Amino acid sequence: MKRRKPQKVEEPSKKRERILFFDVVRILCVAIIFYVHCEFMDIDWFNKLIFPDGMGPFNIYSAGLEGYAVYGMIIVSGAVLEYNYQGLEKLHGYLQFLFRRFIRIYPAFWMSLIFGLIAFPKLWQISIPSLLFEFTGFFVVLGQGSGNINNMGWFIATIVSLYLLFPLFSKIIRRYGMAALVGFCFMSWGLRYFILTYNIVPINLFWRWFPLCNAFEFCLGIYLVQASLYPKTVNNSPIIRELSDISYYVFLFHTLVIFYLGENFHEQLRVPILTLTFGNIFLGDLIYYLLVVFTTLAVSWVVMKIDNRFRVWILNRDTVRNFLNVK
């Protein structure tokens, strides 16, 4: 008698139809962040119009449109979690949820850190305990910056902190609705205002990762799903699905690629033969920008494929499958 091949375990998000709106917003937010960090300053008029420097109104949003893009990602994260994981009541279900989020977030983040350590040998001069602690994703909590290896690592602490509180936030929004959302708004905006205006918390970047500073945007996403206030169009486009899937990897790897190519290729491309201009853009700079975009996408795509295979392998271990199948 042939042994039956175990059925593959997949994440809940793959069992529900994906929403086009969530995927498009995620792609746009990461694209904005990527653009800003690439520093395409040669298109000066566009940057001044769309990406103003400084803080938003009342010091509640930072760095122009880039700051709004980060909070857009947080809103989408809250919405997608509520769409896929609503009703987490039991402890075991909560642990299953955290495990799925862990294997979705951390392996790719760890790969970005390994990539950084290989690309920048100078990092090995930093103390080993400091480098190892960065693998927790909570280096920013120490108040020593966003990360020695990957300066996008602060987002891991931010989003994981919100994941830990997701069932509580979801329950509060479900029970009190708009009143709770308004309360979270006053709390989050108030905290960011006082921290960024009066420096009442001297810990560097505290406002970026502390969950109550981001609770409003996260809960706004939860509320939009609970109140059914989002476009219901299903994402049937394989291109948009692929771009949405790769966006997290682009977010993690883009600054590493930018720093590496900037150190090794940008100045080399500024040679007389490449000083021909297109508008205000030198040909050498144009080649560099295209190199950054294509290299970031290529690296992100390769890492995404490795990460997907690794996650499927983990999810189909007998111990893990038994753990995730318990109701």
Residue 7 lies inside a defined structural domain of this protein? no
What is the C-alpha to C-alpha distance for residues 267 and 151, in angstroms, rounded to an integer?
Answer: 23
The residue with greater pLDDT, 247 or 87, is: 247
pLDDT digits (tens, 9 = 90+) for 73-98: 999 999 999 999 977 888 889 999 99
Q: Which range marks the domain in which residue 77 is found?
A: 16-245
| Backbone angles phi and psi of 282, in degrees to 5 | -70, 145
- Report which of 88, 89, 82 is spatially closest to residue 229, judged by C-alpha positions: 82
| Backbone angles phi and psi of 11, in degrees to 5 | -75, 150
Domain count, the chain: 1
What is the C-alpha to C-alpha distance for residues 149 and 119, in angstroms, rounded to an integer?
Answer: 10
pLDDT digits (tens, 9 = 90+) for 112-166: 999 999 999 999 999 999 999 999 999 999 998 899 999 999 999 999 999 999 9
Residue 299 lies inside a defined structural domain of this protein? no
| pTM for the model | 0.88
Residue 172 lies inside a defined structural domain of this protein? yes
Contact 170, 176 (CB under 8 A): no
* pLDDT at residue 254, rounded to an integer: 95
For residue 52, name the pLDDT band (cuts at 50, 70, 90): low
pLDDT digits (tens, 9 = 90+) for 177-217: 999 999 999 999 999 989 888 888 878 889 999 999 999 99
- In the numeric block, which tokens belong to residue 325? 């199948």
* pLDDT at residue 278, rounded to an integer: 52
Contact 253, 303 (CB under 8 A): yes
Residue 281 lies inside a defined structural domain of this protein? no
Residue 263 lies inside a defined structural domain of this protein? no
Q: Give ∠ CA 233-237-242 in degrees, rounded to 5.
A: 120
* pLDDT at residue 101, rounded to an integer: 95
Residue 163 lies inside a defined structural domain of this protein? yes
Residue 232 lies inside a defined structural domain of this protein? yes
Residue 11 lies inside a defined structural domain of this protein? no
For residue 7, name the pLDDT band (cuts at 50, 70, 90): very low
